[in-house]
DNA sequence: CATCGCCGTGGGAGCGCTCTCACAGAGGAG
DNA sequence: CTCCTCTGTGAGAGCGCTCCCACGGCGATG
């Protein structure tokens, strides 16, 4: 069953059927009805390949995800992102191709890239990781495939949260609470987000006239296990114990909380804690975890919408979109439910005076 | 850049270039070298849409995943599956399209189905959930798209583990340990796997001359939270406490373990426990969790390989492939590292005499 | 009443590939 | 020397769609 046959059955030409399918309004009601009836009766659907060939559009977007599962799916961050991305794709009637780069197999990764990207299988691609110097990303940036990256990047249109200021605010809040020795457990150092969060931590300390103490900084890898191990380090193997911790992710925060409990310490009595992400999963296990909530699914959704706009108009300039974060006071930071911190007086968890940072900017 | 142009530059015809690309050996070495040189120099990759149109193959497989994230990605089961599937796709040079059904939006789900499945976007599809009566699955079964399902199904070629016997063995092992009141926390009742695991639980009890006691059976939903809640139920709100539990998934087992600890009870001293899945993630948090290890990534890999075989030869009969499981004795069942249970004497964790169940069968 | 859009329609070319078929030339068999 | 096979090659059709262009019929315009 193809256009030609539908046309024959409806007593019109191929062109008219094509117009009906593509909602071209220059078709008489009469013809339209007949065509729709035939399409309905035979459950006709135009062939995607033929369409792609003629339009040079596939209506498929790619989602690049770094290869190592252990890293990727250990953290519920990616599932949320995938959800946002698929939702947006479904809404826009685009298909989604998953591109998980093979780990430790450069040749296979190369084949994947060649076949999918250069074979023009995709209209555009969402890049999910701002890992600095990532081969794949740099390559896409130099190819002419429309791309949007989630995270910070200079050459590619990006969707991000303001990791630096969000972290600054979180740590400033801990300072407001009066904690003296505020530690930081960061994510892997090749991640842009990790760097920015650490920078925010440092900024808050500096604004309060303090310095970063090496004693109080530990580097994890976003896994719960690393959160547990680094927290244990901070408790036992460093100088004096911290009285508060800012964790680079909720998942690491979960590990840290276990370590704190295993040490027989109270949260936030002995040690206060703020996480980052606002993941639903952890809300179940640790309902009192204060955290910087970032709109993960929205990042994915916005990325897709922005990408589609670029696909339809490739001449669009490179932009940077920043989505808002919000500090959620659940108790582990020292607040009980709400905070009296004047910095957050206007909106619940949204710091006063930062709104200007959020939005879309030309690069 | 297209075939025609490559042909011109290499001084041959379009046909010859096509032969070189498709590794047809009836090309002179001389011509092949010239063509390859041009392809290399211009980094040429044949257009996927044109190829699809001509061959009526897309080299894209679909992966259907049920819509509700909460359900899907709460459990690390799916990430492992996705990993296996993408690996196999990469190895075979197939692309993978993710089909997450929109939840609560029948219309959008319908559009997705029409566009992707009926638009012949895919060569075949891997179905990831044997939920009974699932609309999507039944529909695919009646369409002519090659499909493979992970789990049990009568009309579709399936890749599965023997949930019934694996569970029977696990519970028989608990019985061998001498536990008297063995409880079961099952997954959702519309899941085929849950049913089979419960059936295995019952079978083991019956083989030991016991009956299922309603007091000892609780229904969860595969989430950690439900494991915690159901275990708490079993501890406080039922009749006499169980002295062992067989959990329908490791994730629920993790919740159950927390409930047991929160109740101040010892594992396995007061209550023994066996899980199901063998997920790496839980091995970190609960290193002594005894569990039925199923090869999740292999299920995905095998599904893809089987599917590709069906794509290449659609006349293949419907088959059922059963992959082996293995009981891992980590301590929580009462064993310490190894077991003396004679049923598992031959292989570590692989029950004696079951090997015949594993394999591929015509339906 | 002739002229001019405008609307609905159909025909044809073309998207970039594969695949069948025809054919030239080399080499072996009769 | 003729006939036949076999190998490498090219031409052409066709996959199913979109999109441009041409054309007939119609009402509005001068």
Size of interface A-B (CB pairs under 8 A): 135
Lowest mean pLDDT among A35-39, A43-47, A282-286, B265-269: A282-286
Distance A284 CA to D2 C1' (A): 90
Q: Is the CB of A54 under 7 A from strand D?
A: yes
Q: Is the CB of B14 under 7 A from strand D?
A: yes
Distance B92 CA to C14 C1' (A): 33
Lowest mean pLDDT among A76-85, A169-178, B16-25: A76-85
Q: Is the CB of B48 under 7 A from strand D?
A: no
CB contact under 8 A, A115 and B96: no
Contact A353/B at CB under 8 A: no
**Pairwise CA distance, residues B150 & B135, whole Å:** 16
Q: Which nucleotide's C1' is closest to B14 (Cα)?
A: D10
CA triple A274-A165-A201, angle to 5 deg: 55
Q: What is the mean pLDDT of residues B193-208?
A: 96
The answer on pLDDT for A130 being more than 70 is no
More reliable by pLDDT, B198 or A285:
B198
**Pairwise CA distance, residues B247 & B256, whole Å:** 8
Residues A141-182: pLDDT tens digits? 888 899 999 998 888 999 999 999 999 999 999 999 999 999
Contact A49/B at CB under 8 A: yes
Token pair 């519970």: residue: B171
More reliable by pLDDT, A69 or A362:
A362
pLDDT of residue B68: 63
**Residue of A119, A259, A281 to mutate, testing the B interface (most B Cβ within 10 Å of its Cβ):** A119
The residue lying closest to nucleotide D16, measuring its CA against C1', is A50
Compare all CA atoms of chain A with the CA of B114 and give the residue at the minimum distance: A45
**Pairwise CA distance, residues A316 & A313, whole Å:** 6
* Chain A contacts in chain B segment 116-135 (CB below 8 A): 116, 118-121
The answer on pLDDT for A280 being more than 70 is yes
pLDDT of residue B25: 87
CB-contacted nucleotides of strand C (7 Å): 7-12, 14-20
Q: Which nucleotide's C1' is closest to A52 (Cα)?
A: D17
- Residue A63's DSSP bridge partners are A98, A126
Distance A22 CA to C2 C1' (A): 38
Compare all CA atoms of chain B with the CA of A94 and give the residue at the minimum distance: B112
* Chain B contacts in chain A segment 52-91 (CB below 8 A): 52-53, 58-60, 63, 69-70, 72-74, 76, 79-80, 82-83, 86-87, 90-91
Distance from CA of B345 to the nearest CA of A (A): 33
Query: Residues of A with CB below 8 A from B96's CB?
Result: 97-98
The residue lying closest to nucleotide D8, measuring its CA against C1', is B27
pLDDT of residue B353: 63
Which of A76, A102, A119 shows the shortest C-beta gap to B48? A119
Distance A25 CA to D3 C1' (A): 66
Distance A233 CA to D16 C1' (A): 64
Which of A73, A100, A119 shows the shortest C-beta gap to B45? A119
The answer on pLDDT for B175 being more than 70 is yes
Residues B2-18: pLDDT tens digits? 999 999 999 999 999 99
Q: A325 with A154: CB under 8 angstroms? A: no
Compare all CA atoms of chain A with the CA of B254 and give the residue at the minimum distance: A285
Percent of chain B with pLDDT over 70: 94
Q: A80 with A299: CB under 8 angstroms? A: no
CB contact under 8 A, B79 and A72: yes
Q: What's this model's pTM, rounded to 2 decimal places?
A: 0.91
Residues A197-232: pLDDT tens digits? 999 999 999 999 999 999 999 999 888 889 999 999
The answer on pLDDT for B228 being more than 90 is yes
Residues B260-310: pLDDT tens digits? 998 999 988 999 999 999 987 777 678 889 999 999 999 999 999 999 999
Contact B100/A at CB under 8 A: yes
Query: Residues of A with CB below 8 A from B281's CB?
Result: 74
Q: Which two tokens stand for residue A349?
A: 């968890």
pLDDT grade for B51, boundaries at 50, 70 and 90:
very high
Q: In the 3-class helix/strand/coil scheme, how is chain B assigned residue by residue? A: CCHHHHHHHHCCCHHHHHHHHCCCCCCCHHHHHHHHHHHHHHCCCCCHHHHHHHHCCCCEEEEEECCCHHHHHHCCHHHHHHHHHHHHHHHCCCEEEEEECCCCCHHHHHHHHHHHHHCCCCCEEEECCCECCCHHHHHHHHCCCCEEEECCCCCCEEEEECHHHHHHHHHHHHHHHCCCCEEEEECCCCEHHHHHHHHHHHHHHHHCCCCCCHHHEEECCCCHHHHHHHHHHHHHCCCCCCCEEEECCHHHHHHHHHHHHHCCCCCCCCCEEEEEECCHHHHHHCCCCEEEECCHHHHHHHHHHHHHHHHHCCCCCCEEEEECCEEECCCCCCCECECCCHHHCCCCCCCCCCHHHCEEEEC
CB contact under 8 A, B90 and A100: yes
Neighbours of B142 (CB within 10 A): 9
The answer on pLDDT for A345 being more than 90 is no
Contact A319/B at CB under 8 A: no
Average pLDDT, chain B: 90
Which of B69, B111, B112 shows the shortest C-beta gap to A83? B69
Q: What is the mean pLDDT of residues A256-273?
A: 93
Q: A21 with A40: CB under 8 angstroms? A: no
Compare all CA atoms of chain B with the CA of A97 and give the residue at the minimum distance: B97
- Residue A99's DSSP bridge partners are A64
Query: Residues of B with CB below 8 A from A300's CB?
Result: none
The answer on pLDDT for B67 being more than 80 is no
Distance B30 CA to C30 C1' (A): 34
Q: Is the CB of A21 under 7 A from strand D?
A: yes
CA distances from B275 to A181, B216, B285, B290 (A): 41, 16, 14, 6
Distance A28 CA to D30 C1' (A): 30
Q: Is the CB of B23 under 7 A from strand D?
A: no
Q: Is the CB of A59 under 7 A from strand D?
A: no
**Pairwise CA distance, residues B256 & B236, whole Å:** 13
CB contact under 8 A, A225 and B86: no
* Chain B contacts in chain A segment 278-297 (CB below 8 A): 280-281, 284-285
Backbone dihedral angles phi then psi of residue B143, each to the nearest 5 degrees:
-80, 175
pLDDT of residue B354: 64
CB contact under 8 A, A98 and B96: yes
Q: What is the mean pLDDT of residues B25-47?
A: 93
Average pLDDT, chain A: 90
Q: Is the CB of B12 under 7 A from strand D?
A: yes
């Amino acid at each position: 069953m193809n256009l030609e046959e539908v046309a024959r059955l409806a007593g019109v030409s191929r062109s008219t059927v094509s117009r009906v399918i593509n909602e071209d309004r220059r078709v008489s009601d009469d013809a339209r009805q007949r065509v729709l009836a035939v399409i309905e009766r035979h459950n006709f659907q135009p062939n995607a390949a033929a369409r792609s060939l003629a339009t040079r559009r596939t209506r498929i977007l790619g989602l690049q995800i770094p290869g190592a599962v252990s890293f990727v799916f250990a953290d519920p961050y990616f599932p949320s992102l995938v959800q946002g991305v698929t939702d947006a794709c479904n809404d826009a009637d685009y298909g989604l191709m998953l591109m998980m780069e093979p780990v430790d197999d450069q040749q296979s990764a190369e084949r994947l890239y060649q076949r999918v990207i250069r074979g023009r299988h995709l209209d555009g691609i969402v890049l999910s990781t701002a890992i600095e110097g990532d081969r794949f990303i740099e390559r896409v940036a130099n190819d002419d495939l429309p791309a949007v990256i989630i995270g910070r990047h200079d050459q590619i249109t990006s969707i991000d949260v303001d990791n630096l200021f969000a972290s600054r605010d979180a740590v400033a809040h801990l300072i407001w609470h009066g904690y003296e020795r505020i530690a930081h457990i960061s994510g892997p150092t090749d991640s842009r987000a990790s760097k920015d969060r650490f920078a925010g931590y440092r900024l808050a300390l500096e604004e309060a006239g303090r310095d970063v103490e090496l004693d109080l900084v530990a580097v994890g890898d976003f896994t719960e296990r690393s959160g547990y191990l680094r927290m244990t380090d901070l408790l036992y193997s460093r100088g004096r114990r911290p009285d508060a911790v800012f964790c680079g992710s909720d998942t690491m925060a979960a590990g840290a909380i276990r370590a704190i409990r295993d040490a027989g310490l109270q949260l936030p009595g002995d040690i206060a804690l703020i996480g980052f992400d606002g993941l639903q999963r952890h809300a179940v296990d640790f309902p009192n975890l204060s955290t910087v909530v970032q709109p993960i699914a929205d990042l994915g959704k916005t990325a897709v919408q922005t990408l589609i706009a670029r696909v339809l108009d490739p001449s669009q300039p490179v932009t940077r979109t920043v989505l808002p974060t919000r500090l959620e006071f659940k108790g582990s930071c020292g607040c009980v439910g709400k905070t009296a911190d004047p910095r957050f007086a206007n909106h619940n968890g949204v710091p006063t005076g930062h709104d200007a940072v959020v939005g879309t900017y030309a690069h």
